[in-house]
Amino acid sequence: MPQHTLAKTVTIRGIGLHSGVESTLTLNPAPANSGIVFVRSDLPERPRFKALYSAVTDTRNCTCLGNAKGQVVSTVEHLMAALNISRIDNALIEVSNAELPIMDGSALPFWKALQEARTLVQDAPRKVLRVLRPVRFEDGKGASVELAPAAKFSLSFDIEFPSKVVGHQKFSGVVTPEVFASKIAPCRTFCEKYQVDYLKSVGLIKGGSLDNAVVLDGDAILNEGGFRVANECVNHKVIDALGDLYTAGMPVLGSFRASKSGHFHNNELLKRLFADTADYEIIEE
């Protein structure tokens, strides 16, 4: 299987969740073996951030890449999930702000942009990270993540929320492009109204609204029309996991199991996996 990049450049515009400021995201083709690289096009020195677990500097509410100068590019995970499932190995992504546009809170706008760009076959073999031994991370507060050897990548995720409109939700299976496009990519990020009220009160999520998140108020959902698909909340967590796992720098061949976990846990799991070279091998797909 060869590597792939984008066949052409595509541009997306939208506001950032935290800043509320409009930013432009330009997805460009990139050479073989260059990986997924973000560039802050608004800064004079145009700093580059490789989309790697080791460059993740913040996992609160989103996955944020940073450098030693304290420069960041945040909320990369929904685009990373779309790149993962599109099997794009190399792309140069320019963003004109410290955060990617939140769009509608799902991965669908990114998925559609990548479909529009199409892919280009490159003259280099695709590398895959094969899990050789089970690796697990638990936070001691009920959340866990695990990668185990498997012949195919599969994913299972379960969440439990007090709100009756969410409750217990589970996803389990192989995420084909068809499954991703219809059941996963449209799923929006979700939160509780009291969290929104608090974050707004301290000057965060200036761009947050019912246009880019599912907002729950106790046992009610505030968005007109309710959920887009069944189990939207856990399926959104699948987007986050697919995006975070792609910061391995290549696709992961193994079975991923997660319970009540988030960006922090996904990043810890990759750090643990890479810490012991007996746990994995890098092979050509």
Residues annotated as part of the active site:
263
Distance of closest approach, residue 239 Cβ to Zn ion, in angstroms? 6
Residues 164-193 that bind Zn ion (CB under 5 A): 189
- Name the residue with the smallest CB distance to Zn ion: 240
Q: Which is nearer to Zn ion, 189 or 235 (CB)?
A: 189
Close Cβ partners of 126 (under 8 Å, ≥ 6 residues apart)? 1, 2, 3, 4, 87, 89, 250, 251, 284, 285
Q: Which is nearer to Zn ion, 232 or 240 (CB)?
A: 240
Is 240 a binding residue for Zn ion by CB under 5 A? The answer is yes
DSSP H stretches of helix in 86-231? 108-117, 177-179, 193-201
- Say how many C-beta atoms besides its own lie within 10 A of residue 283's C-beta: 13
Residue 72 to residue 88: CA distance in whole angstroms:
23
Q: Which is nearer to Zn ion, 107 or 250 (CB)?
A: 107
Q: Which is nearer to Zn ion, 189 or 255 (CB)?
A: 189
Distance of closest approach, residue 190 Cβ to Zn ion, in angstroms? 9
Closest CA to 117 of 190, 224, 9, 21: 9
Is 99 a binding residue for Zn ion by CB under 5 A? The answer is no
Distance of closest approach, residue 168 Cβ to Zn ion, in angstroms? 20
Distance of closest approach, residue 29 Cβ to Zn ion, in angstroms? 26
Please report how many Cα atoms fall inside a 13 Å half-sphere around the Cα of residue 279, on the Cβ side.
16
Q: Which residues bind Zn ion (CB under 5 A)?
A: 189, 240
